[in-house]
Structure 1
Amino acid sequence: MEHNILSSQQLLEHWQGHRRLTRRVIEAFPEDQLFTFSVGGMRPFAELAVEMLLMGVPGIKGVLTGKWKQLVEDNQTQKKEPPRTKDALLQRWDEATAEMDALWPQIPAQRFQETDVAFEMYEGQVYWFILYWIDNEIHHRGQGYVYLRALGIEPPPFWER
């Protein structure tokens, strides 16, 4: 007999906890360094945050609808016009958070176990896509921690989500 470990709502709350922490990392950056500072050839943290935005809401929309083509095109458009200030990035982050919270409950429970092709490139089970998006955020937030420490700024405690 199979038992669920997490409910759908618990998984969303886990992800949103990571998103709250990532938001605090964005806030910790000085405005000028958020868009320019990097270490070892890695992208500036603002670019990493935009990548996270391009996975979150578009990913949930794909999970919900099974339609990924439009999401790929939308992402290409968004990449051309990234936020240019910390306030604009934080505003987009907050808008995405609210949209994720609104869309998530509409996902049917069985959808998480279905196989799909996310963003017309990645085949797998839907729950795996979501776990990947969370892992990707944690990975990039770790880069942000390195940047903040290199700038002499103490990052927020990782356990406070």
Structure 2
Amino acid sequence: METTTNRTYPQIISPSSLLEHWQGHRRVTRRVIEAFPEDAFFNHTIGGMRAFSKMVMELLAIAEPGLKEIVNGKPEVFDEEFKHDNTKATFLKLWDDSTEAINTYWTQIKLEQFQETVTLFGQYEGTVYSQILYFIDNEIHHRAQAYVYLRSLGIEPPLFYVRD
């Protein structure tokens, strides 16, 4: 049996294409935040699910800090209960700031790092690329919940496939 220590993995998507895919989803999520009436963003729930503002807090607590931890190799605190002023404008600003930070951290990830195993927030182990895919999948999951909320409020959600 032959052991190979220097494996090469096929690249099926470039880092810049993956980032654009992720940022496309972030643009849709931003439009979903905008679509909510102010009060409903913080208070509307169905079936025991959290208000969308709480879901957005989770997304903000994962994406930028997780990417920062990948880049710096220093543990980040998972804080989805941060203080805010209960305005949608604040959340949109936080979203935009996070988007900009993601773009900055992204440029610091080397191609070979995507295959490395990391443990984020002291507990979630996986390869860098699987962590990033989780960030994206989790956002899509919560955005789908927000679509249900918007429809229950009689509001047509943004088209999920329009990512510009």
- Normalising by structure 1, what TM-score? 0.93
Pairing partner for 1:144 from 143, 146, 152: 146
Pairing partner for 1:155 from 136, 157, 160: 157
Conserved? CA contact 1:116–1:125, under 8 Å: yes
Paired residue for 2:65?
Answer: 58
> In structure 1, what residue type is equivalent to 2:138?
N
> In structure 2, what residue type is equivalent to 1:19?
R
CA shift for structure 1 position 52: 0.5
For 1:23 and 1:56, the matched residues in 2 are separated by: 14
- Normalising by structure 2, what TM-score? 0.91
> In structure 1, what residue type is equivalent to 2:113?
R
Paired residue for 2:3?
Answer: none
Stretches of structure 1 lacking an aligned partner (at least 5 in a row): none
Paired residue for 1:20?
Answer: 27
Coordinate RMSD, CA, aligned: 1.3
Conserved? CA contact 2:63–2:102, under 8 Å: yes
Pairing partner for 1:45 from 49, 52, 74: 52
For 1:2 and 1:65, the matched residues in 2 are separated by: 24
Conserved? CA contact 2:84–2:90, under 8 Å: no
In terms of fraction of residues, the more helix-rich structure is 1
1:67 aligns with 2:74: yes
Paired residue for 2:105?
Answer: 103
Paired residue for 2:87?
Answer: 85
Pairing partner for 1:31 from 38, 43, 55: 38
Paired residue for 1:6?
Answer: 13
Identity of aligned residues (%): 52
SS in 2 for 1:159: coil
Cα distance, 1:117–1:105 mapped onto 2, change above 3 Å: same
